[in-house]
Amino acid sequence: MEEQNIFERIKCADADCPERIDCCTTVRWRITLDDYKDRRFRDWWTLHEGARIYEEDGVYYIQWPMRCKNVSEDGLSCLDYEARPEICRKYVCRAMTGAAVDSNSE
């Protein structure tokens, strides 16, 4: 298995990412395994428009649509890139490290 240096990253615009639009147009929150398995929890949240619950690399998430105020209409770029918040400047996703992105993890 090839080691990846998380400190070396590809610029977002150059990353081959099938989910690029998700970063600035959705919010995801980590949930517990108990929440993930709880049918009432799942049923409640998935009744809300756009919500989904999924597992990725052994970690469980709930995700729902919520656009950043600075994202472009197509969701692919920041309209205030030079003045973006520090959290955005430091964010590194798996695609930016060259890690494979599996868009079928439901």
For 64-100, write each residue's pLDDT tens digit.
999 899 988 888 888 888 888 888 888 877 777 776 5
In the chain, pLDDT over 70 holds for what percent of residues? 81
Q: Is 2 exposed, middle or buried (0-12, 13-18, 19+ CB in 10 A)?
A: exposed
Task: Read off the pTM.
Answer: 0.63
Q: How confident is the model at residue 40 (pLDDT cuts 50, 70, 90)?
A: very high
Q: How far apart are the first and last CA of the chain?
A: 25
